[in-house]
Amino acid sequence: MALNISSGKISRAVKTVIYGPEGIGKSTLASQFPNPLFLDMEGGTAQMDVRRIEKPKTWTELIGIVNEVAKTPGICGTLVLDTADWTEGMLINHICKTYNQKSIESFGYGKGYTYLGEEWQKLMDAFTRVIEAGMNVTVIAHAKQRKIELPDQSGSFDHWEMKLSRQVAPLLKEWSDLLLFLNYKTYVVTTDTNTRKAQGGKRVMYTSHNPVWDAKNRHGLPEEVEMSFKPIAHIFENGDALVVQSSRAGFAAAERQTTSALERLKELMAEAGIEDYQVREVLCVKQGFPAEKPLEEYPETVINNTVRYFDRLVKQIRG
């Protein structure tokens, strides 16, 4: 058996996890990544001018959407899951419903959490397929504090970590190239009366592990950088080249998929007796497009979602 040995760095898309306290600006930071497409699981991007996929209603549908993105090179530069903790909640509901249990705890002997880890790995596998297709993946999560007590030392301290179960958080940490912790850094000054008080502060990103938080990077970043895309932009330069190359290579396939989706939409309209203008009127309200805009000029994702949720569209049209 021949051994295929290579050397040097391998250029590929980037796997990023961003977490931090509520309101720190996690989604805003993710919106600065290359050509982002949001899977908005909690409605946090409602006031942001970004491209988004309508929130899936089930865990199975979510996996299907991520796999669909992987099959469509160039549909985005970065797929953003916002947020992991809301997604985990959807998964827990899926598992409890599948096995007819009241809660994840009611399985007994930690069996429910075993299912949780196994199912979450399916999402990680789907993300890997997106990466292999040349598109970055960024996962956003909320942060929580947990009290840490070391057995060989007195006292305790607060540790920041992702607001996820002990089955899911390690999978995300291991999977990521960049694990970034976002937080407020407060400056403490000593006054003339020799007392200490907080005075001002700024938002920062921590890129390396610390006893007080989880973080990591594989790119030699400083331990602390300003909270913006600028300090990490160079990491995505090779990834951007891959996305462009993937987009060009897959352009014809993506174009065929759009045509196919549009043809399927036309078929559904004919079967339901729905006119072109009726569909455009609904999409005008939902998507903000001009009512006179031809369906042929609608973005691929809008046409695909319209086909996926055509039954709902019909109900809206018929009242």
| 252 neighbors 285 (Cβ within 8 angstroms) | no
Give backbone dihedrals phi and psi of 225, rounded to 5 degrees, phi first: -135, 165
Helix (H) or strand (E) run with residue 18 in it: strand 15-20
Give the chain's domains with CATH numbers. 15-232 (3.40.50), 250-318 (no CATH)
| Sequential pLDDT tens for the chain (319 residues) | 667 776 666 678 999 999 999 989 999 999 999 999 999 998 888 888 899 998 899 999 999 999 999 998 889 999 999 999 999 999 999 999 999 999 998 888 888 999 999 999 999 999 999 999 999 999 999 999 988 776 665 566 788 999 999 999 999 999 999 999 999 987 655 656 666 655 557 899 999 998 889 999 988 899 999 999 999 999 987 544 344 444 444 444 444 444 467 888 888 888 888 888 888 888 877 666 777 888 888 777 778 778 877 888 888 888 7
Half-sphere CA count of 314, side-chain side, radius 13 A: 13
Q: Is the pTM above the cut of 0.85?
A: no
Q: What is the pLDDT of residue 150?
A: 66
Q: What is the pLDDT of residue 110?
A: 82
DSSP per residue, 28-84: HHHTTSSSEEEEESSSTTTTS--EEEPPPSSHHHHHHHHHHHHTSTTS-SEEEEE-H
Find, among 73, 119, 74, 77, the residue nearest to 95 by Cα.
Answer: 119
3-class SS of residue 191: coil
Spatial CB neighbours of 122, under 8 Å, sequence gap ≥ 6: 63
